Structure 1
Amino acid sequence: MFYGTVVWDPWLIVAQIVCLQCLYYTTLGISMAILVGTRVSRMSLVYFFDFATLTASTATGWCVMASFMISSFVGAGFLVYLIERAKKCLDFSATLYIIHLFICIMYGGWPSSLTWWVVNLSGFAVMALLGEYLCIKRELKEIPVRYRPSKFFFTLPYTKFAAYL
């Protein structure tokens, strides 16, 4: 199959979504453990899914915002290796943030904080645009071609062919 051909594989798409979501939350957890864990006595899922923790009025809130942005930058790198196509980066980034919105709604209600929306929309933009840029850069990378083939490449078929003569 050629690289440009599109194959509809729903199980692959679901697996990519689940894997990307898990890697995003793993990165978010690690960055929150480093930045927020030093400031609070006990880490909990409140910092992941409650919109009230994303506030610009406290230092902990700024650390939570920084954790979300770090996860967006790292998530763009995950898009390069998991999704591998620039035209799919926007779709997978939107899916990730829509799933995150639904989890936040189930956990703490509708996010009524403007800061929550600004952080998540800017994180979505960073992840989608940087992911597309990195995927395009990878897709346009030159394919290395050897100018001098190895000696083994030519001698092995030649000797086998010559043995039959």
Structure 2
Amino acid sequence: MSGSFRSSVWDPSLIISQILCVQASYYLSLGIWIVLLDLVVMTEQIETQLSLGQIYNFDSFQLKNGIGVLCAYMLNAITGGISLWYIVKRTKHCLDFTVTVHLIHFIVCCIYNSRMPSSVSWWITSIVVIVIMTVLGEFLCMRTEMKEIPLGTSGKVDL
């Protein structure tokens, strides 16, 4: 035993399953946020239709196309931080998982668009979302990790 509270054994199957779960929750919650915001915010725009382009297209981040997609990504950062808390449960891994999720999203977006993003709003949104998701995930995980560990079943301490 190393004497530490948690085991530090490298478990690739656990890491891969956590990455898949965080990625799935990222896309699921992003889709839900986009649908909700399309229904609430963008009902007056007839040309707005639900499509994968709202998730993967770099041009959907232009302010002239509406603020709905940008708001969906910001709200999804909060949802992503909560999913880090439920799935990863470790403060020191939140940044790693957040960057992994967004790197995979970046690669998928580049494949979908067949080019690199040139939009400044896409880069700024991505950086802000990474920061929000990481900080919120770390905050929630740290609060959980810092809870007192009960040592006995009763409230008395035996000396």
- The reply on whether 1:122 has 2:99 as its aligned counterpart is no
Aligned residue for 2:59? 52
Q: Which amino acid letter does the alignment assign opposite residue 50 of structure 1?
A: N
CA distances 1:90-114 after superposition (whole Å, capped 9, x unpaired)? 1000000000000000001211100
Give TM-score, length-normalised by structure 2: 0.86
**What letter matches 2:62 in structure 1?**
T
Query: Structure 1-normalised TM-score?
Result: 0.83
In structure 1, the residue matched to 2:50 is: 43
Per-residue displacement from partner, 1:27-81 (whole Å, max 9, x unpaired)? 000000000245355211000001100112243xx11001001111111011111
Question: 1:19 — aligned with what?
Answer: 21
TM-superposition CA deviations, 1:108-150 (whole Å, max 9, x none):
12111000001111000111111111111110012345316xx
Higher relative contact order (Cα pairs below 8 Å, separated by 6+ residues): 2
Q: Partner residue of 1:154? A: none
- 2:141 maps to 135
Equivalent residue runs for 1:54-133 within 5 Å? 54-59=61-66, 62-108=67-113, 109-133=115-139
SS of 2:130 mapped into structure 1 = helix
Whether the 8 Å CA contact 1:87–1:132 is kept in 2: the answer is: yes
Instruction: Read off the aligned partner of 1:98 and give its amino acid letter.
Output: L
Taking only aligned residues, the RMSD between alpha carbons, in angstroms, comes to 1.8
Gaps of 5+ in 1: 149-165
Ranges in structure 2 where 5+ consecutive residues have no aligned partner: none
AA aligned opposite 2:84: L
Displaced runs of 4 or more, over 3 A: none
Identity %: 36
Paired residue type of 2:110: I
